[in-house]
């Protein structure tokens, strides 16, 4: 009970701070929302009266704290305001885009976890072998490569030269949303999801390897070897169990990185998700939408950490007491 109350309190505080920070930052920007959204030419032709009217309509003429308090009041009732850029309620834009982004992120998250874990354990068990060197080399190169560049390389190789995958978007160009089949959607998601999954592999594989090496050098594994226990059984009984805990932490902590990566990947593949909306909103000074996206991403990260904390209790009986009653 105390655990739940404390976490809800922390969550609300986090949301409040994130919205305040985002609001302040966007309001501080030396960018005139009128000029960006109407266009220089159209703005010149408008009468002063019309301009003032538009500014009042978008709330560009009032101080920041006044708008923030007003926004906060509405937000508490579930209304996150109107998006300037999309001219629709922010909640609607978020809901529509979040479905695309979450599907992309989920595939990438699972893939990177599974691949990273497998490579890490493999390299750790065979420390010093060619497999270990291969995995480590691969991870170091991967960690040094910018996500969006990997996306570009994939585009050049798989979409342009080999023609296996479409170049962008989440559905065939010109097709109505009702006509898009599940297979089409998967086909369009494959390349972005693959790119995004590479983001996490390096980190997870290297840490898993480190932990696996530690376990393999422990007295209990040495004893098991001396007893004549086979490698498969040692991995199953000792390595996997001990590595699963740090792996859980990493896997849930990488949600933040994968979200960050999705912003870049969506931009490369013109994939209509939250990341692309964030870039559009940012370039257009769309405060309400930016705040909405920042809140969404912060909530996602918070949720990930919370789930990780709960899972510790399931995996490790020693921590059950601490987490639930601490």
Partner 1 sequence: MAERAALLSAPRRTFVPDRARTLVLCIAFAGALGAIVVAGMMVEPVAMTSDLAQKNLPPSWAHPFGTDQLGRDMLCRTLAGLSLSIVVGLVAAVASALIAVVLGAVAALGGRRADDAVSLLIDLMMGIPHIVLLLLISFALGKGFWGVTIGVALTHWPNLARVMRAEMLQCKQAPYVEAARKLGVGAVRIAWHHMVPYILPQLVVGLVLLFPHAILHEAAITFLGFGLSPEQPAIGIILSESMAYLSSGMWWLAILPGVALVVVVMAFDAVGHGLRRLVDPAHAQD
Our CB check for partner 1 shows the closer of 98 and 234 to be: 98
The string of DSSP codes covering 111-164 is HHHHHHHHHHHHHHHTTTSHHHHHHHHHHHHHHHS-HHHHHHHHIIIIIIIS--
* Residue 156 engages partner 1 in binding (rule: CB under 8 A): yes
Q: Quote the tokens at residue 244.
A: 């699963």
Q: Which of 1, 2, 30, 228 binds partner 1 (CB under 8 A)?
A: 30
Our CB check for partner 1 shows the closer of 117 and 154 to be: 154
DSSP-derived secondary structure letter, 46:
S
Q: Segment near partner 1 (CB under 8 A), from 65-73, 112-120, 179-187, 262-270?
A: 262-270
Which residues is 89 bridged to in the sheet? 82
Q: Segment near partner 1 (CB under 8 A), from 50-58, 187-195, 231-239, 295-303?
A: 295-303
Q: Least separation, in Å, of the C-beta of 259 and partner 1?
A: 4
Q: Segment near partner 1 (CB under 8 A), from 55-63, 81-89, 286-294, 314-322?
A: 286-294
Our CB check for partner 1 shows the closer of 239 and 255 to be: 255
- Within 213-242, which residues bind partner 1 (CB under 8 A)? none
Q: Which of 40, 77, 161, 178 binds partner 1 (CB under 8 A)?
A: 161
Q: Quote the tokens at residue 154.
A: 């994939």
Q: Which of 9, 39, 73, 146 binds partner 1 (CB under 8 A)?
A: 146
- Binding mask 106-145 vs partner 1 (x if CB under 8 A, - otherwise)? ----------------------------------xx-xxx
* Residue 302 engages partner 1 in binding (rule: CB under 8 A): yes
Query: Other C-beta atoms within 10 Å of 9: how many?
Result: 10
Query: CA angle, 138 as apex, 132 and 143 as ends, to 5°?
Result: 125
Buried b (16+ CB within 10 A) or exposed e, 168-196: bebbeeeeeeeeeeeeeeeebbbbbbbbb
Alpha-carbon distance 35 to 323, whole Å?
52
* Residue 290 engages partner 1 in binding (rule: CB under 8 A): yes
Q: Least separation, in Å, of the C-beta of 122 and partner 1?
A: 20
Alpha-carbon distance 48 to 51, whole Å?
5
Helix (H, G, I), strand (E, B) or coil at 82: strand
C-alpha distance across the termini of the chain, in Å = 10
In the complex, the residues that contact partner 1 under the rule CB under 8 A are: 14, 17-18, 21-22, 24-26, 28-31, 140-141, 143-149, 152-153, 155-156, 160-161, 167, 256-257, 259-261, 263-264, 267-268, 278-279, 282-283, 290, 293-294, 297-298, 301-302
């Amino acid at each position: 009970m105390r655990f739940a109350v404390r976490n809800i309190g922390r969550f609300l505080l986090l949301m409040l701070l994130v919205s305040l920070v985002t609001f302040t930052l966007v309001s501080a920007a030396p960018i005139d929302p009128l000029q960006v959204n109407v266009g220089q030419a159209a703005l010149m032709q408008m009468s002063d009266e019309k301009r003032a009217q538009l500014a009042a309509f978008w709330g560009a003429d009032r101080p920041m704290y006044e708008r923030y308090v007003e926004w906060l009041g509405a937000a508490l009732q579930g209304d996150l305001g109107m998006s300037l850029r999309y001219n629709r309620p922010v909640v609607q834009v978020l809901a529509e885009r979040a479905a695309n982004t979450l599907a992309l992120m989920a595939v990438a998250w699972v893939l990177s976890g599974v691949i990273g874990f497998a490579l890490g354990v493999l390299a750790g068990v065979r420390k010093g072998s060619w497999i270990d060197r291969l995995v480590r080399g691969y991870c170091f190169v991967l960690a040094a490569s910018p996500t969006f560049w990997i996306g570009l390389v994939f585009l050049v190789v798989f979409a342009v030269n080999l023609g296996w995958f479409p170049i962008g978007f989440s559905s065939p160009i010109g097709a109505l949303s009702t006509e898009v089949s599940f297979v089409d959607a998967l086909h369009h998601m494959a390349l972005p999801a693959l790119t995004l999954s590479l983001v996490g592999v390096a980190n997870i594989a290297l840490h898993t390897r480190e932990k696996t090496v530690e376990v393999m050098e422990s007295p209990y594994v040495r004893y098991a070897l001396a007893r004549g226990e086979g490698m498969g059984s040692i991995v199953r009984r000792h390595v996997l169990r001990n590595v699963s805990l740090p792996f859980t932490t990493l896997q849930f902590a990488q949600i933040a990185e994968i979200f960050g990566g999705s912003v870049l990947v969506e931009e490369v593949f013109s994939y209509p998700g939250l990341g692309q909306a964030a870039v559009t909103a940012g370039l257009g000074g769309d405060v309400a939408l930016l705040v909405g996206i920042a809140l969404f991403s912060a909530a996602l990260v918070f949720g990930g950490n919370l789930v990780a904390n709960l899972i510790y209790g399931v995996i490790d009986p020693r921590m059950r007491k601490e987490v639930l009653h601490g």
